[in-house]
Amino acid sequence: MSEKKALLIGYSFQDSDVQIGYYSSDMEEPQLLSQTSDPDLVRIPVCLCKLDDSNQWLFGTEARSAYEQGHGELTEDLIRLCLAGEPVLVDHVPYMPSELLGIFLKRSLNLLHRIINLDQIHSITFTFPELPGRLVADMRQAMAQLPVPGERLFLQDHKESFYDFVIHQKRELWTNDVMLLDAREGGLYAWNLGRAKAVRGTPFTVTETALDEFQFGNKDGDTDARFTKLLEQLIQKRLISSVFLVGREFQGNWMQESLRYLCRGRRVFGVENMEVKGACYRGLRGQEKESDRRQFYLGEQQVKYHIGLYVWNGREQQYCRLVWAGTSWFDAGLSQVFLVDDCDSICFQTDAATEVPEEERSFRKTISLDWLPKRPNLATKIRVDLRFESADKWTVTVTDMGLGELFPASGKSVTEQIGG
């Protein structure tokens, strides 16, 4: 498979529809797929129709059309069903929402047959407005059904997609902070992408400000003046390299004074389909070495601490990093085996990735090993399992593995919760 032809796929979900994009290194920017003959209809309903007297499923626009013609039963709003967490009856058969979501993902991937073979997919990223735990669990089950290795399947929220979109623009557009003004869904929101103060590395964060008090009204000179005043209060003396405008409210010629203000030392762009494009770009940073991560995103889904374990290498004690800050909590779990060398405990070290009060910068958690069976030195292996329930709550389980037939495993273990 040629790297030039390898595609990075992005799915951007809203409440009831999804956009599907694709990108390769020979393209200027990601392109979107349409399920119909109209290339501008890029929003695909997140629904399924199981055809009568058949095990065939249709998705999206085709599913709605089949239902309207009386050919089957329509199941809509699959994301809402995932959040509800209850089985769904389809043709008198109960399905878990994760099963239906898996069917939708597999059927929708067939749209790519128009442009490539599925074995040319390099990565797929799924992005959502938010990622509550129940949706994460269902998505991970659905993603496991796809013909793409798990290490090349990514899950993120729209703020992280904004980060991916920005950092794959020209470098001068994000030398300083970057602002997104979003006027969709009848409201106005400002997102600010900036660098957090850190001891080491460069973590990026996105903060959101809801501007509920502002109403666009008639989009005349008065609207322009009010919007300019709002921008002055919002930006003040902050250093902003670029501003992206999203939403139909910014269309037309009403922005005269406000646009002049925005363009003072800043680049301003109207952008469409930002989330799905950012999801496509996510695959570009999926192959970086963990040890080379100097720049990373730190959002609601990311672990805020580096987590490691002190081990003995035969000559001295050294720190072994297990989890890097910036790793999504649902990808941070791991299992690792260590040989016990004359010690009665293990010590975990956590270090904050950003500047926080001194008492929160680092802490240690010691777990006693006095419950292990008495064996000669270097005759015991232990397995350390880290499992995350959220970005700030995780458990560590230490299990006795013994050592071969001479010192069989006892099956004993101990679990400690950290954080939360």
* Per-residue pLDDT tens over the stretch 276-299: 999 999 999 855 555 456 899 999
What whole-number distance in Å separates Cα of residue 273 and Cα of residue 191? 16
The reported pLDDT for the residue numbered 293 is 65
pLDDT computed for residue 115 by the predictor? 81
Q: Model confidence at 1, in pLDDT bands (50, 70, 90)?
A: very low
- What is the maximal distance between C-alpha atoms in the chain? 85
> Which fold is adopted by the domain 162-278?
Nucleotidyltransferase; domain 5 (3.30.420)
Confidence class for position 37, pLDDT limits 50, 70, 90: confident
Task: Give the strand order in the sheet containing 48-51.
Answer: 57-59, 48-51, 72-75
For the chain, domain boundaries: 7-148, 162-278, 302-419
Protein fold of 7-148: Nucleotidyltransferase; domain 5 (3.30.420)
pLDDT of residue 84: 94
Pairing assessment for the beta strands 177-182 and 153-157 based on DSSP bridges: unpaired
From residue 124, how far is each of 11, 46, 77, 117, 120 by CA, in Å? 8, 17, 21, 14, 11
Q: Give 302-419's CATH code, choosing from 3.90.45.10, 2.60.34.10, 3.40.50.10490, 2.70.70.10.
A: 2.60.34.10
How far apart, in whole angstroms, are the C-alpha atoms of residue 103 and residue 186? 32
Mean pLDDT of the chain: 92
pLDDT band, very low/low/confident/very high, at 316 (cuts 50, 70, 90): confident
Is a pLDDT exceeding 50 seen at residue 2?
Answer: no
Q: Which two tokens stand for residue 14?
A: 């809203």
Give residue 261's identity as a one-letter amino acid code: Y
pLDDT band at 3 (very low <50, low <70, confident <90, very high): very low
What was the pLDDT predicted at 359? 74
Residues making up the chain, counted from first to last: 420
Winning range, highest mean pLDDT, from 112-116, 307-311, 337-341, 400-404: 400-404
* Cα angle value 123/79/42 (rounded, 5°): 60
pLDDT exceeding 70 applies to what percent of the chain?
97
Q: Which amino acid is at 293?
A: R
